[in-house]
Structure 1
């Protein structure tokens, strides 16, 4: 079916110089952000990074200390929450337990005095695949079904922007993954702007067209999931979005297309567009699944980067892949993921190995940044 939402013309959500101060603490720090109309946008970050505070300012539940919020040409900074063309879906769903599912979804239309609401409610229930559940009470539904009811209730009011505050946090892992796909399907079908707050990297990457990675009230990097994962701008993004091996190196030369790095006496090359800095000490980064392990001396370089003389120190079988730890001659351990295709024998602890990877899979960051930034940040709201 084809949903008829939205009624209002789509407009970009624009935050300009937004800050939120709580006493001496600044939760959000002069944030500039544009969320294009009709996109699925994620604010991703650890607990306390400012993502939920930002969402609450858009919703009208918090007042910015500085800055403005606009929807298209309309300034909504000073509008009360109920006057904004924005709806929010919370983690706890906030359904009315004494009303059946049909009446929960119809509630907003009834309050606005809409007379012919039944076709609209039926359409919303069909959209979230709960058309046969209208007479049930919330307590008779699963967590995932209750989440869909909350979505239908929010969408039926035809908001220009739907805000989702950790909406899948209360669900178990399997159901959460199913709902990630469902949320993306619903957003694509209705075509309105979704702004989704989460600390779950996989959740953001599965659903969002664009992700803003937040840290300390600031946006560390903005881009598509592929851009952020493949070419992180900071050590925080490199570590928070998946895992990264960061190795200390020094830039010692440059060609037309590449930088030449010295890595503890070994030379490696990195394409210039993948380098955030072009001189001095750096962090050379490689994602664990981009590294190929081979028994020592069995593979030639053939244009790939290579570090020889490593020893396997740990082997963990995790189903789709095997996770290796390999200690380099200077005692740094790297993490390597190898898919379990059956094409190669599994290595064992104590094996002498060489590490190979494509130059185009390398990224270079400023060594002034903390190599452990983003590694141990706990998940949660904030």
Structure 2
């Protein structure tokens, strides 16, 4: 039995149809990413799941409970779904511990202290949000959302305000915490790295439709069309096929001995620049799976 199930969701704003017959399901403890360009419909779909928007048609079920169908529409406050927006929406006048405890009816000190420890916020418990880093603020927002034990957690572009050096660390931390707490989650993002690193499955949205729903590996290796290939890291388009750069091999046209003058890593492969030993002005480039030391020699037959 699927934990979250969406069936034939459509949504229009005036004459503009934003979602077209969207259907997919996720299981308990899965993290699913909604990935697409701006205007693809991913945030609208998230808001429909949360009860912040009303779908024109379709059904939404969470944990075997109907959220919306032809005769039912539960308001957000009755759905037990946590939502984390881009700005985290922390209360500036409350400290970290008070922010996390905000939604609890019973201010269980032991539970609060456990969450402070889990999210590595114990030493920051008495700080106000403005005294925290972006990553720390995000951990507070997520702790506040999951301490009330939601049936589902929705994250809308949660890493967009973080710089690249912090993004990967926070993504890893949050993914670990969500899996430890056994909370199924949906991540909305336009960044393929967010989706590839965090999600068990990715739903690719294009102009309001899900064009591919699969594991990150399958989507990367077997994109269904050029849009998906470009969105998830770039492709080379050849006659009748989509090919990743990592699936190609560049070799020098001239045989002989070459000296390695540069070796750089990118997306799983090593891009190597070679200089001909008998002609210092002749350079070629090759792609290899393994690192080659600069200054070493390569024979090309």
Structure 2-normalised TM-score? 0.85
Q: Is residue 222 from structure 1 mapped to residue 213 from structure 2 by the alignment? A: yes
Q: How does 1:147-166 map to 2 (within 5 A)?
A: 147-166=138-157
Q: Distance in 1 between matches of 2:295 and 2:205?
A: 41
The corresponding residue for 2:115 is 124
Q: How does 1:221-300 map to 2 (within 5 A)?
A: 221-248=212-239, 283-296=240-253, 298=255
The corresponding residue for 2:99 is 104
Q: Distance in 2 between matches of 1:318 and 1:296?
A: 21
CA distances 1:104-131 after superposition (whole Å, capped 9, x unpaired): 011101xxx32x4212211211111112
Runs of 4+ in structure 1 off by over 6 angstroms are none
Q: CA deviation at 1:191?
A: 0.9
Q: Is residue 50 from structure 1 mapped to residue 7 from structure 2 by the alignment? A: no
The corresponding residue for 1:89 is 84
Number of aligned positions between the proteins: 276
**2:81 touches 2:151 (CA, 8 Å); kept in 1?**
yes
Q: CA deviation at 1:72?
A: 3.1
Q: CA deviation at 1:73?
A: 2.3
Q: Distance in 2 between matches of 1:11 and 1:289?
A: 35
Equivalent of 2:50, from 59, 77, 92? Answer: 59
- Mind listing any 5+ residue stretches in structure 2 that lack a counterpart? 274-284
The corresponding residue for 2:292 is 342
CA distances 1:146-168 after superposition (whole Å, capped 9, x unpaired): 00000000011100100000001
Q: Distance in 1 between matches of 2:223 and 2:86?
A: 29
Structure 1-normalised TM-score? 0.68
Root-mean-square deviation over aligned CA pairs = 2.6
Q: CA deviation at 1:65?
A: 0.9
Q: Distance in 2 between matches of 1:290 and 1:107?
A: 51
Q: CA deviation at 1:232?
A: 1.3
Q: CA deviation at 1:238?
A: 1.6
Q: Distance in 2 between matches of 1:84 and 1:199?
A: 26
